[in-house]
Amino acid sequence: MRSRVRQEQSAQSVIYQKQIDALASGCFRDPFIFLGAHKSGPTSYEIRCFLPGASSVSVLLGTEKIVAQQQGDSHLFVANIKSKTKPDYQLDVSYSNEFTHQQYDEYSFESSLDEQAMYLFNEGSLEHAYQHFGAHFVTQQGVDGVRFTVWAPNASSVSVIGEFNYWQRNRHFMRFHPASGVWELFIPGLKEHQCYKFAITTLTGEVLDKADPFAFKMQQAPGTASVLQKLKTGIQLSERALANRAKRNSVDAPVSIYEVHAGSWQRRDDGERYLTWRELADNLIPYTKELGFTHLQLMPISEYPFDGSWGYQPVGLFAPTSRYGSFEDFVYFVEQCHEADIGLILDWVPGHFPSDPHGLHRFDGTHLYEHADVRQGFHPDWNTYIYNYDRAEVRSFLIANAMYWLHEFGIDGLRVDAVASMLYLDYSREEGQWVANQYGGRENLGAIECLKQVNMRCYAKNPGIMMVAEESTAWPGVTRQVDHDGLGFGYKWNMGWMNDSLHYMQRDSLYRSHHHHEMTFSMVYAYSENYILPLSHDEVVHGKGSLIEKMPGDDWQKFANLRAYYAFMWAHPGKKLLFMGAEIAQRKEWNHDQSLDWHLLEHISHSGMQQTIKDLNAVYTSTPALYEQDTSPAGFAWLDSNNAEQSMFSFIRYAKKAEDFVVVICNLTPQVYHDYVIGVPKAGTYQVILNTDKADYFGSGVDATSHAEQIIVSQAIESHGFNQSISVSLPGLATIYLKKVSDES
């Protein structure tokens, strides 16, 4: 009798040999056609389970237990049951180590894929793709588990591998949906923080272990796995918070941004340990607030494997880096920014991705996320891959990522990195190394459309945010609305102002008169875009030195130059951005592996620089003339733009109320000028509200006026086109601000 049973089992295993071989090899395209419960007769079902390592399997039907027969020496177990309808069952699995486990069969669950969402994904318009793709804790058919979903249309087989199945790629084969190119599987009973990947078998038989592109958490390098993480955000901003955000980010608001690399602002344990998100919340946010900055901008915090990329080569676009703590810790940091009324901007990198084997490159064995042609899909400067913006699913991926940070965390905005590299097909390429668009031009039409869609959708669904472009060319209409043929950004970094003004400031004062135009040229195009004036991390790396060391002269002159330059910047039309360390005049070039040199604050030269920034922000944020009309010619007027001989710049900033204005005078030579006459628009009493030569700042202490309260009364003497003027003392290498505090008596 036993011999006959073995013969029947052996015969049955021969029937299933093709499937057994495919399952054992880890390559099975449609597991639901074979595994699970399948009708075998009018009143019978056959339940097939492939369970590597199992010694015996039984099917549990309520209180009934039916032993499944092992097919030969394979890992396939088959049970025949009497039933007219598809049975509801569990499995009782025993292993060779005598461990017995009761579980649900993954192949007994119906698909929960949202077909409408997949249609939008394939169309390029699925704004919340992260809610459908990746790993999500859900309840399906009354059972708790995780639904895995991944786009890999050209794979021959995809499996979920992880700690929960000993990384076996022949255990959890996924269901393929040919219409959308998406694979999906529900696995019951999984726990948060378990590691996983997708094992993708290509059409050529190659096996690629890939991290989840939509993972909310990833291992810190050198680990490469994704980590199961519940999406616990959905930060709901109150009506008041939304109103504050809109007001804070408006073009007529004071915007002063402190740019920070979270890993090197401060460190603990003699510089060996990063601050955690919670420590950053307790230290960085109060510091930002104390110095008067309105916004905090973090360099990229999406998970990235290589520290030296500073986050600009991310692999986990949806995962806050675990370098600084847990997902929940990052949520806490964001909430504390909201509590402190500090706008939070994140650096976002949609321009390229690295070649790490667990990343997006050749994701399903084909060039899925990147262009196949290296002339379009490879960045020669950075050895990275360029997204294929023409592909609709890639657009959905990037749109959803931007929406994720804004919607789920209530972030104030995104600073989009390297926009110029996205816009131009010939960016950093020689003739013959790039492919023209369909009209023969150099514009990347797919990238342009992607950026437009990102901006339109982000602004429409997240009112009051700010989208910022780091765009280094003269591309027209970067901050123009999309329906007016613009890219739809809210702000653009003014790289021209930064380059010109830094070149000027680096020159010895003896030679500045020959380059006067470098400080005035920016006003020719100041209103062509909504600008942010950036002194960013890019200016203090790769051998460029720190800002203080760019300044000419002896140590006193270096500090005086930098203070005067900052005050010129804060008075110039455009919002402000300053990279960390510049506020304390860090002497060394920025090093991402070290903390800032906070010990420098023991010296008045450095503490004076910090106080200058604090006072600049206080004056700036309390003086509408310095910010209300940044984007309007009515907000600025030169008093004297032609005084090259004395390297002097003077101008007026106007608020929306014309009677509210500030007079700004910059003397960028060491020469002190007494009784310097400057025209003013109105008769009255003027007060010096800022003087960068104050002794408290490490200045020489030359007062603009001899009056103790730093006030000056205008005289009816014509100057600079006005009927009224004032006479001031101008310190060397200094900038002063004057404001009318009362009318003529």
466 inside domain: no
Domain count, the chain: 3
In the residue annotation, 356 being an active-site residue is answered as: no
User: pLDDT over 90 for what percent of the chain?
Assistant: 92
Looking at the structure, do residues 119 and 83 belong to the same domain, yes or no?
A: no
Q: What is the pLDDT of residues 57-73, one digit of tens each?
A: 999 998 899 999 999 99
Domain shared by 220 and 126, yes or no = yes
Query: Are 93 and 161 part of one and the same domain?
Result: no
Q: Are residues 673 and 729 in the same domain?
A: yes
- How does residue 505 score in pLDDT terms, banded at 50, 70 and 90? very high
- Are residue 653 and residue 726 in the same domain, yes or no? yes
Looking at residue 90, what is its pLDDT?
96
At 608, give phi and psi (nearest 5°). Answer: -65, -35
Spatial separation of the C-alpha atoms in residues 178 and 583, rounded to whole Å: 56
Do the domain assignments include residue 406?
no
Specify the pLDDT at position 302: 97
Exposure string for 489-524, b = 16+ CB within 10 A, e = fewer: bbbbbbbbbbebbbebbebebeebbeebebbbebbe
pLDDT digits (tens, 9 = 90+) for 413-436: 999 999 999 999 999 999 999 999
Give the pLDDT confidence score for residue 3 in this predicted structure. Answer: 53
Check residue 145 and give its pLDDT. 97
Q: 152 in a domain, yes or no?
A: yes
Q: What is the pLDDT of residues 625-677, one digit of tens each?
A: 999 999 999 999 999 999 999 999 999 999 999 899 999 999 999 999 999 99
- Determine the average pLDDT of the residues in 258-280: 95
Q: Which of 303, 364, 417, 539 is catalytic?
A: 417
Q: Which domain holds residue 178?
A: 115-227
Query: Does the residue 551 lie in any domain?
Result: no
Residues 640 and 731 in one domain: yes
The answer to whether position 52 is within a domain reads yes
User: For the segment 151-205, what is each residue's pLDDT rounded down to a tens digit?
Assistant: 999 999 999 999 999 999 999 999 999 999 999 999 999 999 999 999 999 999 9
Burial bucket for residue 356 (CB in 10 Å: 0-12, 13-18, 19+): middle
CATH code for the domain of 46: 2.60.40.10
The first and second tokens of residue 134, run together, are 């990746």
Whether 100 shows a pLDDT value over 90: the answer reads no
Residue 62 belongs to some domain of the structure: yes
The angle formed by the CA atoms of residues 399, 402 and 407, to the nearest 5 degrees, is 115
11 pLDDT higher than 80: no
Instruction: Give residue-wise pLDDT tens across range 209-256.
Output: 999 999 999 998 899 999 999 998 767 888 888 999 999 999 999 999
Regarding whether 102 and 151 lie in a shared domain, the answer is no
Residue 13 confidence (pLDDT): 62
Residue 101 in domain: yes
How do residues 169-183 score in pLDDT, each as one tens digit? 999 999 999 999 999
**Residue 721's pLDDT is what?**
93
The residue out of 227, 258, 284 marking a domain boundary is 227
Q: Is the pLDDT of residue 615 over 90?
A: yes
Q: Of 163, 197, 227, which closes a domain?
A: 227
Whether 106 is catalytic is no
- Per-residue pLDDT, averaged over 495-509, amounts to 97
607 within domain boundaries: no
Same domain, 81 and 149: no
Answer yes or no: do 137 and 76 share one domain: no
Structure tokens given for 62: 């309520």
Q: Are residues 104 and 136 in the same domain?
A: no
The residues, any chain, with a CB within 8 Å of residue 190's CB and separated by 6 or more, are 137, 145, 146, 164, 228
Q: Which of 505, 643, 496, 625 is nearest to 571 (CA)?
A: 625
Q: What is the mean pLDDT of residues 329-341?
A: 95
> Checking DSSP bridges between strand 175-177 and strand 134-140, what pairing results, if any?
unpaired
- Predicted local confidence at residue 7, as pLDDT: 52
Query: Quick one: pLDDT band at residue 706, thresholds 50, 70, 90?
Result: confident
For the chain, what is the mean pLDDT? 95
Residue 394: name the closest of 380, 382, 376, 412 by CA.
376
**pTM listed for this prediction:** 0.95
Do 100 and 138 share a domain, yes or no?
A: no
Do residue 120 and residue 62 come from a single domain? no
Q: What is the mean pLDDT of residues 588-593?
A: 96
Q: For residues 359 and 349, what is the distance between their CA atoms, to the nearest angstrom? A: 15
CB-CB contact of 180 with 118 (8 Å): yes
Q: What is the pLDDT of residue 707?
A: 83
Residue 99: per-residue pLDDT: 79
Catalytic hit among 470, 518, 615, 628: 470
pLDDT tens digits for range 557-581: 999 999 999 999 999 999 999 999 9
Last residue of a domain, one of 108, 125, 141: 108
pLDDT band for position 101 (cuts 50, 70, 90): confident
